[in-house]
Amino acid sequence: MMTVATPLLPPADWRDFLALTKPRVMTLVVFTGLCGMLAAPVGIHPVLGFTAILCIALGAGAAGALNQWYEADIDAKMRRTQKRPLPDGRMDRESALHFGVGLAAFSVILMYFAVNFAAAAILTVSILFYVLIYTVWLKRRTPQNIVIGGAAGAFPPLIGWAAATGEVALLPLLLFGLVFLWTPPHFWALALFVKTDYANAGVPMLPVVAGERVTRRQIGLYTIPMALVAVLPWPLGLTGPLYGGVATVTTAIFAALALVVATRTTRPDDMMKPEKRLFSYSILYLFVVFGALVVDRWVFA
Ligand code: HEM
Ligand SMILES: CC(C)=CCC/C(C)=C/CC/C(C)=C/COP(=O)(O)OP(=O)(O)O
């Protein structure tokens, strides 16, 4: 953790506080939460539904802020993150800490009083998981950091479902499993092409510690259970054929891209590095699969 002297910084702009919440990454987190809510068998009042999604967004943003508060030293050493408000000197660490803690508390309390206990409890677990288990405990210690810590990002579909029903069930647990198993291929694909950044910052990400070959193989290995979990809701009768069809096709494309990453490095005729293609596709994939789940539920309900 960094202890930086911050002499007379100008007051941070609202854009700096927004940047602390990692808004681009959180769009997908919020989307999976929304889809978990809309896939539930019971409806939720639109105002309560909106409040629940707002709480997921605020909680995830708070976790992002606390992550940046804790790892300003790492962010300062990586090209990709150097321009964030703390390493760039646009904000002092205390403001980031107060903002993160305040927003986290607000999101959980609002979820509890406006929505229900189950959603508030899972939101609390996911914030603590991202900040304490991933950021503070695992990220600097083990290349398995994102496998275990990545579970934090898999909770939102469960939160959304719990907001509507007050409980958890098999379908949202499978959605949790899907995002959990999706995270290693998603992140390690990126880590393959920003490897030097992590090496410079001393973060033990898999390509840095175990090398490219192992990372490529691990991406392939995690894709197998991910693919099974992605399609499983259909044969189990938890979704209709629309989800089944979309999940099968988009997962097959994911598996094909992962297989290329697992088996070879860039060729001169590649338009894009295979790992870059897999990383970009991984994001589109989750949007499409979760979107299909909701359309399926509303078409076949
Ligand atoms: C521990 C697990 C994860 C790690 C370490 C990770 C890491 C990253 C990193 C380093 C980026 C690069 C771009 C940036 O800095 O904004 C990124 C992009 C992204 N991640 Fe992840 N990610 C993880 C899990 C997730 C999860 C669970 C989701 C959502 C369900 C997600 C959604 C996204 C999205 C949407 C982007 C693209 C952002 C953009 O367009 O700039 N990630 N991820
Ligand atoms: C509801 C709730 C609390 C959700 C949590 C959301 C969550 C855990 C998302 C994980 C995605 C994420 C921002 C990873 C960044 O890893 P990193 O911090 O190592 O990336 P960096 O190098 O860009 O800082």
Quick check: pTM over 0.90? yes
Q: Which of 18, 25, 80 most suits a substitution to test ligand 1, by most atoms within 8 Å of the C-beta?
A: 25
Ligand 2 centre and the CA of 64: distance in Å? 6
Ligand 1 centre and the CA of 153: distance in Å? 9
**Any atom of ligand 2 within 6 Å of the Cβ of 81:** yes
**Any atom of ligand 1 within 6 Å of the Cβ of 150:** yes
State the pLDDT at residue 3.
Answer: 55
CATH topology of domain 14-167: Tetracycline Repressor; domain 2 (1.10.357)
**Any atom of ligand 1 within 6 Å of the Cβ of 178:** no
Give the pLDDT means over successive 10-residue stretches in the chain (301 positions).
58 91 96 98 95 98 98 96 96 96 98 98 98 97 93 97 98 98 97 92 95 96 98 97 98 98 83 93 98 94 71
**Any atom of ligand 2 within 6 Å of the Cβ of 107:** no
Please tell me the residue having the least CA distance from ligand 1 atom 19: 25
Structural domain boundaries in the chain? 14-167, 169-301
The secondary structure of the chain, three-state, reads: CCCCCCCCCCCCCHHHHHHHCCHHHHHHHHHHHHHHHHCCCCCCCHHHHHHHHHHHHHHHHHHHHHHHHHCHHHHHHCCCCCCCCCCCCCCCHHHHHHHHHHHHHHHHHHHHHHHCHHHHHHHHHHHHHHHHHHHHHHCCCCCCHHHHHHHHHHCHHHHHHHHHHCCCCHHHHHHHHHHHHHHHHHHHHHHHHCHHHHHHHCCCCHHHHCCHHHHHHHHHHHHHHHHHHHHCCCCCCCCCHHHHHHHHHHHHHHHHHHHHHHHCCCCCCCCCCHHHHHHHHHHHHHHHHHHHHHHHHHHHC
State the pLDDT at residue 96.
Answer: 97
The predicted complex's ipTM stands at 0.95
